[in-house]
Amino acid sequence: MAFLVDYFLGMDYNINKYVQIWRLIMKTEFDVNITAKDLFVFLFNNSYRKFTGILLMIFSIGCIGVVVYTWGDIKLANSILLLALALFYLVINPVILYNKAKNQVKNNEYFNKTLSYIIDTKGITVCQGDDKATSNWDEMWKAVKFGSIVVVYVTTIRAFILPIRCIGDKYNDFVDLARGGLNTRCRLGKKK
């Protein structure tokens, strides 16, 4: 806005100067409480969206198809074994992941206290009590949205889990900062 005033008053202006100033002051803050559901959504997506997860999903559906197609033509024990293989990945594994998430949230002190996030043009800072840690954008791998959470990956197994309910009305500001820091590695869309 200031460059428009300068322009109309006939002053020489440099748009890059104003962009640099905007980047220095742009930041957003919010508090996060991780629930078992948030952690489950992360664990589930982290398992099932990888190549091996997709392959096992196809295998499980294929097992069900084989059971249906061969029902009565092969021994009942073989059909039950194929059905058990299919159900393990389609039903039992998600239940195990949910129990793992519930126990981790319950037993881990990190999840029992509120985390304060400060996101700026340099990166993400997390505060909890007297502890403080900062990760720069160039240290991060990518940012994606999985339903009710945003995940900013530092490595393939280490990430910031940010529930959208906690980000609230600051979501679009967060997306702007993430896009600025991660460029094409940011796969987040803005809310309308």
For the CA atoms of 22, 24, 26, 28, the dihedral, rounded to the nearest 10 degrees, stands at: 180
Q: Tell me the per-residue pLDDT of 33-62, one tens digit each, with 9 for 90 and over.
A: 999 999 999 999 988 888 988 998 899 999
Q: Answer with the one of 107, 122, 155 that is the final residue of a domain.
A: 107
Q: Answer with the one of 107, 138, 163 that is the final residue of a domain.
A: 107
DSSP 92: I
User: How many separate domains does the chain show?
Assistant: 2
Which residue type sits at 8? F
Q: Where are the alpha helices (DSSP H) in the chain?
A: 2-8, 15-25, 36-48, 51-70, 76-87, 93-107, 109-112, 164-167, 171-182
Question: Are the C-beta atoms of 67 and 78 separated by less than 8 Å?
Answer: no
Asked if 72 and 99 sit in the same domain, the reply is yes
Q: Which two tokens stand for residue 37?
A: 């559901």
Question: SS3 of 179, please?
Answer: helix
Residue spans of the chain under pLDDT 50: 1-9
Asked if 181 and 138 sit in the same domain, the reply is yes
Asked if 116 and 162 sit in the same domain, the reply is yes
Exposed/middle/buried for residue 95 (C-beta within 10 Å: 0-12, 13-18, 19+): exposed
Model pTM above 0.75: yes
Asked if 68 and 125 sit in the same domain, the reply is no
Asked if 172 and 116 sit in the same domain, the reply is yes
Q: Tell me the per-residue pLDDT of 6-40, one tens digit each, with 9 for 90 and over.
A: 444 455 555 555 555 555 568 899 999 999 999 99
The verdict on residue 161 lying in a domain is yes
pLDDT attached to residue 190: 82
Residue 160: φ, ψ to 5°: -90, 125
Q: Answer with the one of 50, 72, 107 that is the final residue of a domain.
A: 107
Asked if 122 and 94 sit in the same domain, the reply is no
Which are the contacts of 135, defined by CB distance < 8 A and separation ≥ 6? 123, 124, 154, 160
Name the residue with tokens 């700026």: 120
User: What is d(CA 67, CA 75) in angstroms, rounded to the nearest whole number?
Assistant: 11
- A 10 A CB-CB count for 78 gives 13
Asked if 92 and 53 sit in the same domain, the reply is yes
The residue range of the domain holding 157 is 27-34+109-187
The verdict on residue 137 lying in a domain is yes
Indicate the angle between helix axes 93-107 and 36-48, nearest 10 degrees. 140
Which are the contacts of 118, defined by CB distance < 8 A and separation ≥ 6? 27, 28, 29, 124, 125, 126, 127
